[in-house]
């Protein structure tokens, strides 16, 4: 049986969550692995949330915001980007494969690119296999 | 929390929308096993009246103090259900939604896997619901003044509609005149009579009364040659910065005598007539435009660029009324407004990149250029003479810059009929001309359009079908122009008119940033919903009118502008507005580091001394609720209402606990 990863996606209310809705309206077939948590802005996603998810056994975490320059809150996604870059290095440092996390952008109109991101990331995590870090963070 | 949590879960089938690919009964059964859940129902349409009644009865009969609905996107029905639970006496923020339609049933075909995912999404929502807290919506006052950006036909209509209802309006236009692109058309389709004599379809007859209405309305403040450079605040309480460039001529003193133009030594191509004639630096843009006044273009004036007039400007001396003031400076002012209508219009497609059409040839022109050529107010006084010849053979080419596979995919909606109008214009002015129209479809969908198109066919326009994919070519050989199209004999043409489509304004991304708007895939401003909310945007209090939202004809633009005005007045008429609750707040664990102050884009956070210690204080009227400060806070003192760390962590744990 192929490994079916359990993936969490943080989507911002204004762009990527709307893109996910539009992908639904367009009936764009997607793997069932991803569960979306809505936040008002990708800038709300604390790096701790990602570490918590991975250490609790989630196999991969996606953060999807508005394109740079299109943030509903002007610069929230700039912060997300900076934090994400630090987070990637931090994960590497503590021995977690940073390929288990991904930051990307999807505008409210980009249902097709959104669906592709979901498919690609699911495939990537499927190849990485089950999360070996579960329970490693108290 | 002392109160015992009692959650009710309602699973919606949405007819077959959810029911076909998710076993809703199984999802409901699963929900029964979740912590704090005391009551579960599944029904056909939870948003219907019986569905809502079931929620209200559940709250009453089962003492529910949290409600979860698993149905469509919260972007669709969250307001509906919040109102439902509030109706039953529950705080509306004790409601949570699981999106099992857009994010589940519609994107998964495997019913078993879809059902498992739906169960998981309900688990997430139940986990969060248990931690929801009652919140009070914030109320703020409303500034009863509107801002309309763009004084084209849409902006003018929106402004007069708002003013007629008794509210003040700031109407901002970056050009020197009102009417936008429409003011420069020769006639506006569909023509009421197929006569070339005036029957009231020219901008002169149609628009001047509209212009006068704007000018005479004491509630409208018109800012010409002006741009909105900044917008602060939020719905009901915006602050706009308007920057006005000088025109150097006092409109009240100018009597249009023209003495200034007579003496002006400058000569530059007239951009509004596409270089088909020259103009002076001080000039009257067109006799048809309003407000009528001479204007001075400082980029061409030898007083400003250094030249003959550097010391003693000839025009100032020539003006007997003292109407010219070359010392006029740029002005900036701030205005308080409650709502904004965006009516910034469109640009015309530039066909230069289509090498096969040879647009650089003087007798290959675009439709807007033809409008000037054909207009009585244009450079030829309406006579069809171009490049020194009267064109006896005219080719029109449709869909230039529209309906392309690798470019603008959309239909520009107006080209078919303006092409018919222009073909008609040639046939009326030059009755023995041969007019060939290369078309792909004739989309004459508007009222009176098909009838008009049929008349133009009867007049003898030679419509020639071409395939959209067929690369139609214009060849030029020693000034002989030929149109080469598959399935037709080559057409020797004296004049080729390209039916260029409508494209977004080149600087629309700047307006996006100014107002926090989104762009659709086609580059026009995105509406809040393509079917249900075509006038609203995702920024509360900002509405769209006319072609800035997508190509449309004048009738549709006017209708949308009236709609936008009605929506704007819906805000202006309110004494107070309810704002979002998702604001940040900080507690006594704040260490006063100021990181949050730095990341807040809205200046909502300040450091203040409380009990002898520096602490972050959030101005919740300014806070927009992004939560960026919370993720930045090193001490965990900053929190967000309705999106607390605990609520988000509970959802993460629910995902982690579920496995796949």
The pLDDT value given to residue B192: 67
Contacts of A27 in chain B (CB under 8 A): 106-107
- Using one digit for the tens of pLDDT, what is the confidence trace for B212-252? 889 999 999 999 999 999 998 888 999 999 999 999 999 88
Query: What is the pLDDT averaged over residues B175-200?
Result: 77
The C-alpha atoms of residue B66 and residue B131 are separated, in whole angstroms, by: 9
Name the pLDDT band for B2 (thresholds 50, 70, 90).
low
Name the pLDDT band for B200 (thresholds 50, 70, 90).
low
Does residue B2 sit within a domain?
Answer: no
For B104, list phi and psi in degrees, rounded to 5.
-145, -80
Contacts of B101 in chain A (CB under 8 A): 24
Name the pLDDT band for B208 (thresholds 50, 70, 90).
confident
Complex prediction ipTM: 0.97
Cβ atoms B66, B1 nearer than 8 A: no
Report A:99-128 residues touching B (Cβ under 8 A): 107-110, 115
3-state helix/strand/coil string of B332-396 = EEEEEECEEEECCCEEECCHHHCHHHCCCCCCEEEHHHHHHHHCCCCCCCCCCCECCECCCEEEE
From A112-116, A134-138, B123-127, the region with the lowest mean pLDDT: A134-138
- Using one digit for the tens of pLDDT, what is the confidence trace for B410-422? 999 999 999 999 9
The pLDDT value given to residue B594: 95
Name the pLDDT band for A72 (thresholds 50, 70, 90).
confident
- Using one digit for the tens of pLDDT, what is the confidence trace for B268-323? 999 888 888 899 999 988 766 778 889 999 999 999 988 889 888 999 999 999 99
Query: What is the pLDDT averaged over residues B539-549?
Result: 94
Identify which of A1-5, B1-5, B562-566 has the greatest average pLDDT: B562-566
Q: Assess whether B373 and B394 both reside in one domain.
A: yes
Q: How far away is chain B from the Cα of A103, in angstroms, using its nearest Cα?
A: 16
A67 touches chain B (CB under 8 A): no
A33 touches chain B (CB under 8 A): yes
Q: Assess whether B231 and B305 both reside in one domain.
A: no
- Using one digit for the tens of pLDDT, what is the confidence trace for B479-507? 899 999 999 999 999 999 999 999 999 99
B540 touches chain A (CB under 8 A): no
Q: Assess whether B220 and B308 both reside in one domain.
A: no
pTM: 0.73
The pLDDT value given to residue B201: 78
The pLDDT value given to residue B148: 98
Q: How far away is chain A from the Cα of B106, in angstroms, using its nearest Cα?
A: 5
Number of structural domains, chain B? 5
Does residue B188 sit within a domain?
Answer: no
Burial B370-405 (b: 16+ CB within 10 A, else e): bbbbbbebbbbebebebeeeebbbbbbbbbbbbbee
Q: Between B75, B117, B513, which is nearest A18 by CB?
A: B75
Say which CATH number the domain at B172 has. Answer: 3.50.50.60
Q: Assess whether B498 and B352 both reside in one domain.
A: yes
Q: Assess whether B551 and B620 both reside in one domain.
A: no
- Test B513 with A83 for CB contact under 8 angstroms: no
The C-alpha atoms of residue A46 and residue B643 are separated, in whole angstroms, by: 12
Q: How far away is chain B from the Cα of A45, in angstroms, using its nearest Cα?
A: 6
Query: What is the pLDDT averaged over residues A124-134?
Result: 92
Q: Assess whether B23 and B96 both reside in one domain.
A: yes
Of the residues B504, B521, B555, which one is the last residue of a structural domain?
B504
Q: Assess whether B471 and B543 both reside in one domain.
A: no
User: Which residues have a Cβ under 8 Å from the Cβ of B240 and sit 6 or more positions away?
Assistant: B147, B170, B228, B230, B231, B334, B335, B337, B340
Q: Assess whether B420 and B374 both reside in one domain.
A: yes
Look at residue A49 and tell me whether its pLDDT is greater than 50.
yes
The pLDDT value given to residue B660: 42
Look at residue A91 and tell me whether its pLDDT is greater than 90.
yes
Query: What is the pLDDT averaged over residues B420-448?
Result: 94
Q: Assess whether B441 and B568 both reside in one domain.
A: no
- Test B627 with A41 for CB contact under 8 angstroms: yes
Domain that holds residue B121: 7-135
First to last CA, chain A: 31
Say which CATH number the domain at B26 has. Answer: 3.40.50
Q: Assess whether B424 and B483 both reside in one domain.
A: yes
Q: How far away is chain A from the Cα of B520, in angstroms, using its nearest Cα?
A: 6
Q: How far away is chain B from the Cα of A108, in angstroms, using its nearest Cα?
A: 8
B20, B74, B103: best mutation site toward chain A, by most A Cβ within 10 Å? B103
């Amino acid at each position: 049986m192929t490994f079916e990863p359990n993936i969490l996606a943080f989507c911002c209310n204004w762009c990527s969550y709307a893109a996910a809705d539009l992908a639904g309206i367009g009936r764009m077939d997607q793997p069932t692995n991803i569960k979306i948590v809505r936040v008002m802005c990708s800038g709300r996603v604390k790096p701790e949330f990602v570490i918590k998810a991975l250490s609790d056994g989630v196999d991969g975490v996606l953060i999807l915001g508005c394109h740079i320059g299109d943030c509903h809150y002007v610069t929230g996604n700039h912060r997300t980007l900076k934090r994400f870059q630090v987070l990637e290095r931090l994960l590497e440092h503590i021995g977690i494969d940073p390929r288990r996390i991904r930051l990307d952008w999807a505008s409210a109109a980009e249902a097709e690119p959104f669906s592709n991101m979901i498919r690609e990331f699911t495939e990537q995590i499927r190849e990485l296999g089950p999360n070996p870090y579960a329970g490693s963070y108290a | 929390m002392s109160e015992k949590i009692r959650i009710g879960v309602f699973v919606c089938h949405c007819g077959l929308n959810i029911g076909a690919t998710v076993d809703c009964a199984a999802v409901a059964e699963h929900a029964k096993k979740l912590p704090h859940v005391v009551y579960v129902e599944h029904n056909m349409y939870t948003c219907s009246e019986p569905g809502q009644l079931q929620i209200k009865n559940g709250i009453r009969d089962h003492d529910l103090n949290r409600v979860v609905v698993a149905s469509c996107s919260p972007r669709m029905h969250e307001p509906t259900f919040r109102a439902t639970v509030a109706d039953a006496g529950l705080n509306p923020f004790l409601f949570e939604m699981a999106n099992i339609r857009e994010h589940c049933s519609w994107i998964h075909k495997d019913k078993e896997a879809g059902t498992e995912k739906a169960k998981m999404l309900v688990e997430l929502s139940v986990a969060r619901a248990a931690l929801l807290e009652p919140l009070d919506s914030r109320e703020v006052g409303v500034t009863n003044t509107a801002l309309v950006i763009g004084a084209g036909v849409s902006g003018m209509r929106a402004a007069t509609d708002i003013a007629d209802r008794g509210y003040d309006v700031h109407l901002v236009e970056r050009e020197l005149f009102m009417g936008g692109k429409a003011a420069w058309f020769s006639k506006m389709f569909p023509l009421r009579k197929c006569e070339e004599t005036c029957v009231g379809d020219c901008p002169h007859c149609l628009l001047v009364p509209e212009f006068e209405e704007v000018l005479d309305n004491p509630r409208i403040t018109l800012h010409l040659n002006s741009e909105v450079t900044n917008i602060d605040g939020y719905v009901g309480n915006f602050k706009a910065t308007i920057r006005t460039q000088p025109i150097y001529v006092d409109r009240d003193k100018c009597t249009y005598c023209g003495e200034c133009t007579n003496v002006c030594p400058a000569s530059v191509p007239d951009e509004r007539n596409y270089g088909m004639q020259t103009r002076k630096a001080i000039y009257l843009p067109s006799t048809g435009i309003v407000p009528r006044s001479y204007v001075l273009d400082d980029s061409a004036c030898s007083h400003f660029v250094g030249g003959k007039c550097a010391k003693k400007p000839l025009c100032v001396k020539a003006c007997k009324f003292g109407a010219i003031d070359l010392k006029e400076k740029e002005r900036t002012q701030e205005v308080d407004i409650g709502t904004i209508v965006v009516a910034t219009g469109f640009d015309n497609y530039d066909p230069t990149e289509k090498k096969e059409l040879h647009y650089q040839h003087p007798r290959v022109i675009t439709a807007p250029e033809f409008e000037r050529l054909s207009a009585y107010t244009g450079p030829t006084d309406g006579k069809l003479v171009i490049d020194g010849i009267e064109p006896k053979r005219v080719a029109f080419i449709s869909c230039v810059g529209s309906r392309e596979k690798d470019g603008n995919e959309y239909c520009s909606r107006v080209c078919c009929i303006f092409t018919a109008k222009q073909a008609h214009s040639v046939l009326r002015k030059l009755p023995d001309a041969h007019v060939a129209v290369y078309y792909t479809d004739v989309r004459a969908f508007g009222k009176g359009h098909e009838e008009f198109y049929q008349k133009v066919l009867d007049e003898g326009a030679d419509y020639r079908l071409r395939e959209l994919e067929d690369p139609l070519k214009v060849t030029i050989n020693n000034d002989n122009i030929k149109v080469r199209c598959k399935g037709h004999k080559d057409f020797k043409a004296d004049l080729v008119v390209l039916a260029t489509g409508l494209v977004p304004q080149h600087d629309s991304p700047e307006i996006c940033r100014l107002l926090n708007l989104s762009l659709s895939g086609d580059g026009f401003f995105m509406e809040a919903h393509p079917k249900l909310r075509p006038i609203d945007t995702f920024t509360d209090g900002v509405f769209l009118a006319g072609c800035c939202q997508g190509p449309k004809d004048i009738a549709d633009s006017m209708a949308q502008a009236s709609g936008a005005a009605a929506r704007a007045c819906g805000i202006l008429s309110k004494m107070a507005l309810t704002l979002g609750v998702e604001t940040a707040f900080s507690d006594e664990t704040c260490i006063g580091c100021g990181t949050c102050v730095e990341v807040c884009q809205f200046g909502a956070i300040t450091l203040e001394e409380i009990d002898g210690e520096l602490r972050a204080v959030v101005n919740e009227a300014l806070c927009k609720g992004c939560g960026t400060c919370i993720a930045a806070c090193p001490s965990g003192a900053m929190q967000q209402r309705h999106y607390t760390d605990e609520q988000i962590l509970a959802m993460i744990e629910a995902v982690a606990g579920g496995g796949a």
